[in-house]
A = this chain, B = another copy of it.
């Protein structure tokens, strides 16, 4: 690994001059040429560690997400990456597993690695985000809220729940259930509130609470909840799931019971990844995952560039592709 000193020696100048050439400060054309040639010849790449120690900042952005295996978050990551790349930043992807301890660990790393900024889908509301913001490092929250007043990019979850549920009623279903995530997570509560709001107007009454299932927000949870719904005395004829994975689980359970949409209405808040179903059998409320990422990255880059206006919150809306109408009996 050639150093700036070796380049300087070969070019017959001082290290300072080499640095100036590299960073575009004033140097005579003659020496610029000498330095360029020497750098070329030695295949010189500046050592980022040394540079960072001096500059106290790097071109690294940390992206903390709960689960790399969830397509929603990978799409978001792609969005972040695209914007970051274009601005000359690299993205470090970190898995928090929704574990506040892991999250804290990564935030500490972001600090001691002198990262330029952090984009965070927070595991909990009371994470140690302060560790980072206190040091003046910009942080943007994405998809979920923090307790702090920092830049954030959210989805209108209530509206998403409303849209999913409305689509099912419009398609002719009458007993619309909901598979929601665990209590205490804002995003899923908001979406199921959207469902409740529509059902209380257009639904069959009475049954609301029996038709609301809480599950862990993964595939197996959705599957179990769907099975439970089907086992009810008067089962629903349609279901809304508050995220993509539970949607997959619900469809699996239906498939195992020999039922295929649109015989049973299904609306998913989120995209069904790699679905092999006929695409318009199902209502999908497409969460703008990638857009969430690009927006967050843009905001973060602005902060890194020195923008210090008050914290902003951007709320994006989901758009819906409606599934088929309920077939006549």
| Residue of B with least CB distance to A46 | B112
A69–B93 CA distance with the chains assembled, in angstroms:
13
Stretch at the interface among A150-158, A164-172, A271-279: A271-279
Q: Which residues of A (75-90) have their CB < 8 Å from a CB of B?
A: 75, 77-78, 81, 90
Give the size of the chain A interface in residues (CB under 8 angstroms): 47
* Minimum Cβ distance to chain B for residue A95 (Å): 6
A201–B110 CA distance with the chains assembled, in angstroms:
57
Q: Say yes or no: A78-B71 contact (C-beta < 8 A), given A53-B53, A92-B92, A113-B48.
A: no
Stretch at the interface among A4-12, A248-256, A301-309, A320-328: A248-256
Which B residues lie within 8 Å of A252 (CB)? 275-276, 279
| A311 in the interface (beta carbon within 8 A) | no
Q: Which residues of A (261-317) have their CB < 8 Å from a CB of B?
A: 272-279
Which B residues lie within 8 Å of A46 (CB)? 112
Q: Are B68 and A93 in contact (CB-based, < 8 A)?
A: yes
| A329 in the interface (beta carbon within 8 A) | no
| A204 in the interface (beta carbon within 8 A) | no
| Residue of B with least CB distance to A55 | B49
| A111 in the interface (beta carbon within 8 A) | yes
Which B residues lie within 8 Å of A245 (CB)? 274
| Residue of B with least CB distance to A253 | B276
| Residue of B with least CB distance to A274 | B248
Which B residues lie within 8 Å of A255 (CB)? 276-278
Q: Which residues of A (44-70) have their CB < 8 Å from a CB of B?
A: 45-50, 52-53, 58, 68-69
* Minimum Cβ distance to chain B for residue A258 (Å): 9
Number of copies of chain A assembled together: 2
Which B residues lie within 8 Å of A69 (CB)? 71, 74-75, 78
Q: Are B274 and A273 in contact (CB-based, < 8 A)?
A: yes
| A1 in the interface (beta carbon within 8 A) | yes
Residue in B90, B109, B248 whose CB lies within 8 Å of A48:
B109
* Minimum Cβ distance to chain B for residue A307 (Å): 22
A122–B48 CA distance with the chains assembled, in angstroms:
24
A135–B135 CA distance with the chains assembled, in angstroms:
35
* Minimum Cβ distance to chain B for residue A216 (Å): 16
| A220 in the interface (beta carbon within 8 A) | no
Q: Are B49 and A114 in contact (CB-based, < 8 A)?
A: yes
Q: Are A95 and B81 in contact (CB-based, < 8 A)?
A: yes
Q: Are A111 and B49 in contact (CB-based, < 8 A)?
A: no
Which B residues lie within 8 Å of A45 (CB)? 108, 111-112
Q: Are B256 and A276 in contact (CB-based, < 8 A)?
A: no
| Residue of B with least CB distance to A244 | B274
Q: Which residues of A (87-146) have their CB < 8 Å from a CB of B?
A: 90-95, 106, 108-109, 111-114, 135
A81–B94 CA distance with the chains assembled, in angstroms:
9
* Minimum Cβ distance to chain B for residue A204 (Å): 27
A311–B135 CA distance with the chains assembled, in angstroms:
44
A69–B113 CA distance with the chains assembled, in angstroms:
27
A252–B255 CA distance with the chains assembled, in angstroms:
16
Pairs of residues from A and B, 4 with the lowest C-beta to C-beta distance, nearest first: A251-B276, A93-B93, A48-B112, A248-B274
